[in-house]
Chains A and B, each alone.
Chain A
Amino acid sequence: TQLLEQSPQFLSIQEGENLTVYCNSSSVFSSLQWYRQEPGEGPVLLVTVVTGGEVKKLKRLTFQFGDARKDSSLHITAAQPGDTGLYLCAGAQNAGNMLTFGGGTRLMVKP
């Protein structure tokens, strides 16, 4: 059982559609990160959220941290083929850097 559950595991959509990826846990996190990983490469940090209820925007990507700091969501508006990849959420529970990763959401955006 993953400490962080991501859903959906797989998502295939057409270019221009909107989508939301969820990251849920029963544990409280001091911070939560979203990473994007492309084939043959390591994960790349997209955003870090720290405060409960925090919302951060990165172009067409909107990240939200739940009020209780147990869950997070990633919303992509008007998805493009370049958004294709594996999206990973990761939580830090202590005032340190040990991250627990979710199982990932594999997104494919078709032109």
Chain B
Amino acid sequence: DSGVTQTPKHLITATGQRVTLRCSPRSGDLSVYWYQQSLDQGLQFLIQYYNGEERAKGNILERFSAQQFPDLHSELNLSSLELGDSALYFCASSVGALPGQGFSPLHFGNGTRLTVT
């Protein structure tokens, strides 16, 4: 058990809809990361937050947004969903992520499987 909790585990919705994925990081971790994993693909970095502030952006679509709340949990909002958005969405957390702090290992949740029909 990584200590990172993601809900829901599965989500089935229709094109054009909007969904919210939730992540609770490991206790003590300040950084949260969101990744997308399509079928048979590696993980694509979407966005990172550190202590409530956006820290880095990857290949995140404008239809997608995220935030990290004061209690450090994070939500990933996906809107105007398309068939191609069907994927596994992973959240990961780590202790620190500021420049100069060096690398701290990422701990991944078990993901939310999104199916858009």
Contacts and interface: CB of A to CB of B under 8 A. Distances in A.
Interface residues of A, number: 29
B42 A92 contact: no
Main secondary structure of the interface of B (DSSP, over half): loop
Given A97-B31, A97-B48, A98-B48, A42 B99 contact: no
Interface in B15-69: 31, 33, 35, 40-45, 48, 55-56, 58
Interface size class of chain B, counting residues whose CB lies under 8 Å from the partner chain: 20 to 34
A33 B111 CA distance: 20
A1 interface: no
Contacts of A30: 103
Contacts of A92: 103
B106 A44 contact: no
A68 interface: no
A88 to B, nearest CB: 6
Contacts, number: 74
B45 A94 contact: no
B12 interface: no
A3 to B, nearest CB: 10
Interface in A11-43: 30-31, 33, 40-43
B92 A42 contact: yes
Contact of B90 (A42, A48, A96, A98): A42
B104 interface: yes
Interface string B1-20: 01010000000000000000
A98 B42 contact: no
Interface of B: 2, 4, 31, 33, 35, 40-45, 48, 55-56, 58, 90, 92, 94, 96-111
Given A2-B42, A101-B42, A106-B40, 10 more contacts: A6-B42, A33-B105, A42-B110, A43-B90, A44-B108, A90-B43, A95-B101, A95-B102, A98-B58, A101-B35
